[in-house]
Chain A
Amino acid sequence: MRFVELLVAAVLLAGLYAMMAYGLGLIYGVLRIVNLAHGGMIMAGAYLGLALHDRLGMDPLLSLPLIAVVSWSFGWLLYRFVVRHLPRGATGGAQSLLLLFGVWLVMRNAVYLIFTGNDQAIRTAWSTHAWKLAGVSLPVNRVIVFGLAMLALGGLHFLLTRTYVGKAIRAVAQNPDSCTRAGIDVEKVYALTFGLGSALAGVAGLLGATIFSFNPSFGSVELLKSFVVVVMGGLGSVAGTASAALVLALVEVFAILVLPSYLTGAVGFVLLVLVLVLRPGGLFGQKVLG
């Protein structure tokens, strides 16, 4: 029974991981930029949800669309005014890495000033309930988070594969130069993609905040986990991301059985290094979006 319970817990957790990772992978796949501010966006989503819940009494489910729009706009602005001016590719990699890291530090500090560094949590009417299914308990909040994450990923998959915008994004990921020739506004696609990735991070942060307690450094562990998933799962493939997220969640959840509890936190980091080392060629996967 314990085994089944852990299995269910892992699957539910994997949904959230997949969502966090997909935003990071999308931005990397299209812009070739590792968005270190991703962790900051996750944290910002959590705190925005907290503010809307505590000050305006908005249920996280209601504030979700709002947070998606706000995070999207933030990502869009960040791209238009800052990231756009950075060099890309091998030599520019370090610069965008450092700059976005700076953005993350500023975000953390801003949140710290507004909300202090104390641990916070979003508690709703449904956060402590659990359903029983064949003797296995299913915490309602985790099920909802899993469902929403799957919905978001499904929607994104639809957007990328079935719509004109999605086609443009995939085309830019493959070859920005020929896109310009074909009349696609590449800069617009970049800004849009940066917005999409940020929106995913913000919403993932909000969803995470309904499960875990958080403080201004929320998002750093999540960022590293997202890397693990992106590196394992390859770029832009929803199925690949989902299965990699499942592997990570399984390893983490079952590590509780064999490792002392204080070391389970290190499992994600060790896995990150292992994955990076063992898959040196196809690091973020050779697969192009789609």
Chain B
Amino acid sequence: MKLGIALSAAALVALALLPFALSPYTHNLMTLSFLFVATALAWNWLGGYAGQISFGHAAMFGTGGFVAARILLAGALPPPLAWIAGGLVAGAYALIWGHPTLRLRGPYFSIATIGVGEATRLVFTYWDKFTGGSSGLSLPMVPGAKRTLYWEALAFLALIAVASWAIRRSRLGLALFAIRGDVEAAADVGISATFYQDLVLFLSGAATGIAGGIYASYFSFIEPNDMLGFDRSISFVLMAVIGGVGTILGPVLGAVVFVLLRQFLIGSYPQLYLGLYGALLIAVILFEPLGLMGLGHRLVRRAAR
């Protein structure tokens, strides 16, 4: 345990010092990785801990992104507060659709989230007074902002990682594991599935929304079909599944692998990347449902023997 904390702290310091030695390309890739690692972890609170697979998290990513962008364009708040405001709106939005749909379990919830995600994307695409429609919104470029955003994204990631660990060990985490195992048995020992699932969806949605806001600031341009597309929702699912659903290290590894893989595929095989995601998903589920974490455990066990 102490070793884990020490290692994480060392990694954090190393990552914080790294930009002084990075090319802009790697710098960009790292910032993107931080954001997506954080989002994958937040997705995992609901998908992994509570076992409710969401195919609609792009809705919160987009909501957070556009609310933050609007606030920044109006110049009403400094960036970090704008991101938090975006996150709160995204969390509230998640509650609005989540409270009724979280009563559903398993595939039904997942299916409902596909509907929510797509409906949200359509509304955002046509609500051009707010989102700029399919031509999107441009944020003013601030010189040097990308450099600061690296640390801000890293700080956000550290926060989410600590939160992931804290939730796992808290009453909330235990309640979620119980709900994942058996909703009715959990209810018998006094765990309100409604309360805990609502809570974790709010947290997960808010964190995803904040990530959307930082993403908007980083790219200075956002557009509904990119922010809220089904591909975006799938990417969150994939990151957690590749790494290992329900663990903490899993989504971290999964998201890093995902971002690197995506970068490589878009560069070299742009027309193949969706299919390769699919193949990866099939391979993981068929051969190692616990993802990279499961693979790691298996290798460790084999080495020990």
Contacts and interface: CB of A to CB of B under 8 A. Distances in A.
Partners in one complex: yes
Interface of A: 34, 82, 85-86, 90, 93-95, 97-99, 101-110, 112-113, 220, 224, 227, 260, 262-263, 265-266, 268-270, 272-273, 276-277, 280, 283
Interface of B: 51, 53, 97, 100-101, 103-108, 110-112, 114-116, 118-119, 122-123, 126, 230, 234, 237, 241, 245, 271-272, 274-282, 285-286, 289
Pairs of residues from A and B, 5 with the lowest C-beta to C-beta distance, nearest first: A109-B275, A105-B278, A102-B281, A269-B119, A106-B278
13 contacts: A82-B282, A94-B51, A97-B107, A102-B282, A103-B278, A109-B271, A112-B275, A266-B119, A270-B119, A273-B100, A273-B112, A276-B111, A276-B112
Given A93-B107, A273-B97, A262 B126 contact: yes
A99 B100 contact: no
B86 to A, nearest CB: 22
Contact of B100 (A94, A108, A277, A283): A277
B48 to A, nearest CB: 10
B284 to A, nearest CB: 8
Contact of B282 (A34, A106, A109, A265): A106
A93 B106 contact: yes
Nearest to A32: B107
Given A263-B123, A266-B122, A269-B122, 4 more contacts: A82-B282, A90-B106, A97-B110, A108-B274
Contact of A277 (B105, B112, B119, B281): B112
A283 B234 CA distance: 24
B111 A101 contact: no
A94 B278 contact: no
Contact of B281 (A101, A113, A263): A101
Given A86-B285, A277-B101, A280-B104, A224 B114 contact: yes
B112 A265 contact: no
Contacts of A273: 97, 100-101, 112, 115-116, 119
Contacts of B97: 273
Nearest to B117: A269
A217 to B, nearest CB: 9
B281 A98 contact: yes
A220 B233 CA distance: 14
A272 B271 contact: no
A94 B53 contact: yes
Contacts of A283: 104, 108
A28 B286 CA distance: 20
A107 B282 CA distance: 12
A164 B274 CA distance: 42
A105 B53 contact: no
Contacts of A268: 115
B201 to A, nearest CB: 14
A143 B114 CA distance: 31
Contacts of B116: 269, 273
A85 B53 CA distance: 21
Nearest to A272: B115
Nearest to B119: A269
A224 B117 CA distance: 12
